[in-house]
Amino acid sequence: MKTLIFLMMCAAVVVWIVLTLRRKPSTQLASIDAVIPAYNEGPCIAASLTNLLNNPYIHQVICVNDGSTDNTPAVLDALQREWPGKLVVVHQSNTGKGGALMNGVRRATARQVFLTDADTRVPPDSRGLGYMLADIERGMDAVGGIPSSDLRGAGLLPHIRATVKMPMIIMKRTLQQVLGGAPFIISGACGLFRKDVLLAHPFSDRTKVEDLDLTWTLIANGYRVGQCNRCVVYPQECNTLREEWKRWRRWIAGYAVCMCLHWRLLLSRFGFFSILPMFWVVVLGIATYSLSWGRAALAGDPVGVLYAVFPLIWVGVVCSIATFSAVFHRAPALVMLAPFSVFYVLLAYAIWVTYGFSSFFTGREPVRDKPTRYAVVDDTGASAA
């Protein structure tokens, strides 16, 4: 079953690439306002904003300091003095990410608004925003890009995550676009919206996954939501098991809560092909692992347990996927690390069992996590520290 799903995703990606290969990026430069919420982002905010400020598609950058308690306000004020007229800095009391985003959106003057996170690197010399803008010009109301991984200064866990992350996001969301009519999410790290759409249906903080909640709200209200595989950005990843657990816990509990909030969508084409498959794959995976581990344990077969965790076919598949990632990131070691990506599969299953299913019925979510940021340099070579 999983092999069939994987082959379907591969076929969908190939077809989609062939159909969209001739599309050109928009020629409308300086036509997008970028909005970035920031809460305690001192180590990385300057580099992220500098990259955006140097991007030819950006008209202005609006950064909303959401009550930071570190040096974020000082960093922003200093950067604003370097970019008068193009960088708008807003200081406010803490409202939550949704409130900070909307405060920035309301100050935008461009018709299109690009939303990203303070830790995310958007290459200034990339035409990715141009391809997203071209989709908006063709009639889309909102377009999501691909959140890859920023491996500069990252530890072991981010490299393991990067082995299959980007290829799998491309495959899954492309398949969702083709079959379900829209990707299941426009990631908070990379989304381009018509401003009037966001004003009509603003972000809220009723869940800890405001990007997922907004995406499903737009789809429920008939807006056209698309996926752009040619815009890749690079958010930072978690470097510790504790932070990774908290982040995945928020994502999974939030996904379950959104399924409850948007239950009518589950009965639609989008629900059938974009929302529910991800849930049923988890259920199938938990059942499959439980049965295979149970049989091996009852038989007293440690080799069988190890094979259940690392089946040879699966190892071959993930190493093949990681080859693409290794070439893209120029990091050959990703191929060797690929089998350990099973950690994230098991992590997701464990969190679904511990938090996900209960969140669906109770509507409760854990408190929002805040990963530790690390200093990088922007693409012009200037230090962010």
188 and 323 fall within a common domain: no
165 and 43 fall within a common domain: yes
In a domain, 178, yes or no: yes
3-class DSSP state of 279: helix
* Helices of type H across the chain: 2-20, 45-53, 72-82, 97-107, 128-137, 156-162, 165-175, 195-200, 210-220, 241-261, 269-270, 276-298, 302-309, 312-329, 333-337, 342-351, 357-362
In a domain, 315, yes or no: yes
In a domain, 368, yes or no: no
In a domain, 243, yes or no: no
C-alpha closest to that of 345 among 304, 314, 307, 302: 314
Number of domains making up the chain: 2
Find the farthest-apart pair of alpha carbons in the chain and give their distance in angstroms, rounded: 70
In a domain, 257, yes or no: no
- Measure the CA–CA gap between 11 and 17, rounded to whole angstroms: 10
CATH code of the domain in which 212 resides: 3.90.550.10
Quote the tokens at residue 269. Answer: 């084409």
Query: Around 368, how many Cα atoms within 13 Å sit in the side-chain half-sphere?
Result: 12
223 and 291 fall within a common domain: no
pTM confidence score: 0.91
50 and 105 fall within a common domain: yes
In a domain, 219, yes or no: yes
77 and 173 fall within a common domain: yes
Per-residue confidence (pLDDT) for residue 385, from 0 to 100: 43
In a domain, 248, yes or no: no
Per-residue confidence (pLDDT) for residue 132, from 0 to 100: 97
176 and 323 fall within a common domain: no
- Measure the CA–CA gap between 143 and 190, rounded to whole angstroms: 9
223 and 269 fall within a common domain: no
In a domain, 252, yes or no: no
Structural domain boundaries, residue 60: 2-238
225 and 291 fall within a common domain: no
Per-residue confidence (pLDDT) for residue 334, from 0 to 100: 97
80 and 225 fall within a common domain: yes
Per-residue pLDDT of the chain (385 residues; tens, 9 = 90+): 555 666 666 776 777 777 777 889 999 999 999 999 999 999 999 999 999 999 999 999 999 999 999 999 999 999 999 999 899 999 999 999 999 999 999 999 999 999 999 999 999 988 999 999 999 999 999 999 999 999 998 999 999 999 999 999 998 898 899 889 999 999 999 999 999 999 999 998 899 999 999 999 999 999 999 999 999 999 999 999 999 999 999 999 999 999 999 999 999 999 999 999 889 989 988 888 888 777 777 777 776 666 666 777 778 888 989 999 999 999 999 999 999 998 999 999 999 999 999 999 999 998 877 888 888 756 655 544 4
91 and 203 fall within a common domain: yes
Please give the single-letter amino acid code of residue 148.
S
245, 251, 282, 308, 351 from 346: Cα distances, Å? 11, 15, 10, 12, 9
59 and 141 fall within a common domain: yes
Q: What is the pLDDT of residues 191-200, one digit of tens each?
A: 999 999 999 9
232 and 269 fall within a common domain: no
- Measure the CA–CA gap between 373 and 110, rounded to whole angstroms: 30
Angle between helices 97-107 and 210-220 (to 10 degrees): 60
